[in-house]
Each structure stands twice: as structure tokens, then as C-alpha cells.
Amino acid sequence: MEQLAFFDIPSPCIDVCQTDARGYCNGCLRSRDERFNWLTFSDAQKYDVIRLCTQRKRRRQLAMMKARQAQIEQERAALNPQLNFEPEPEADLDFGGFELD
């Protein structure tokens, strides 16, 4: 059973109506179907769309943060090529002739 709401759930639109490469709005992060069917959705469906938009926003922010960190590491490496910011590959160590006394 759906709970009664006293107020309508407002659209998350922020008037930035452009889509990204994946088909989500750059402003509110809704898909095409979510944008076009907003007025026909029930309150529960609207809350679900808002929850999905929040998840998409967090994933986008995390991806942007990781890209920025990678860019900073590349800039540091370019400024001082003597410093190695890459993790060292594990060398194959041969302990065949090693003995404990």
C-alpha cells in the first residue's frame, strides 16, 4: 500500500537539459525515459528515480576524483622524472642458494 503524500514530489530538473554519452541528463542525471515519463510516475517511482539519480551523481563524482588524482600523479612525474610514482613490479627473487645457519 502506498503512503499518502501531502505535497507533490518536485522534478529534480535544474534546467541543464543536455545529455551525456550514456544518455543521462547532465543536470539531473535522469535517463530519457525517466525525464519523459516523470508526470505519469507514482510517488514511489519518483522517489526511486531520485534515489537512482543520487547514486549516479556519487559515481560520477568518484570517477572525476579518480581522474583528477591520476592527472596530478602524471603532472608530478612530468615535473620530476627522477621520482618514480609508479608501483614497483615484484621482482622474481631466487632464494635457492640461501641457507640459515
Residues 6 or more apart whose CB falls under 8 angstroms from that of 73 comprise: 85
pLDDT tens, per residue, the chain with 101 residues: 556 667 788 889 998 889 988 889 999 999 999 999 999 999 999 999 999 999 999 999 999 999 999 999 888 888 876 766 566 666 666 667 767 66
Beta bridge partner(s), residue 19: 25
Distance, in Å, from the CA atom of 89 to the CA atom of 101, rounded to the nearest integer, reads 31
Is the distance from CB of 27 to CB of 13 less than 8 angstroms?
yes
Q: What's the predicted TM-score (pTM) here?
A: 0.66
What was the pLDDT predicted at 57?
93
What was the pLDDT predicted at 84?
61
**Integer-rounded Cα radius of gyration of the chain:** 25
What was the pLDDT predicted at 8?
83
| Long-range own/partner contacts, residues 63-69 (CB < 8 A, 24 or more apart) | none
